[in-house]
Amino acid sequence: MNIPADLKYSPDHEWIKIEGNIATVGITDFAQGQLGDVVFVDIQTEGETLSKSDIFGAIEAVKTVADAFMPLSGKIVEVNSQLESSPESVNKDPYGAGWMVKIEMSDLSEVDSLLDAEAYKALL
């Protein structure tokens, strides 16, 4: 299982890459493996400001549908539009082409509540 050391993680199995006040978010390799083949990603929250733990979208797989949760509070400034035509990117490249949203963080102190790679491995 791939758990990159340079990312942060939420207990809800989202990964977070922080660059300045922008956080790129997707689901982890573990999460995509649990879901199975992703067939649709539904994110209708672009431009919205959401709080940590709010649902920002849904991930539909062959076996189930799962909510995607905000790991940090902020405004969704970009949605990965490539997922509309290539939802399988979430399975094939969860930490690259399978990213889901970019968030302009509104409370940088929330970053401290995220897990590092070792803590995420321990959670699993």
Q: What is the pLDDT of residues 26-38, one digit of tens each?
A: 999 999 999 999 9
The answer to whether residues 66 and 14 touch, using CB atoms and an 8 Å cutoff, is no
Average pLDDT, the chain: 97
Domains identified in the chain and CATH numbers: 8-108 (2.40.50.100)
Residue 58's pLDDT band, with cuts at 50, 70 and 90, is very high
pLDDT bracket for residue 1 (50, 70, 90): confident
Please give the Cα distance from 81 to 100 (Å, whole number): 8
**Number of neighbours of residue 43 by Cβ within 10 angstroms:** 18
- In percent, how much of the chain has pLDDT > 90? 98
Task: Please tell me the pTM assigned to this model.
Answer: 0.96
What is the distance between the terminal CA atoms of the chain, rounded to a whole angstrom? Answer: 11
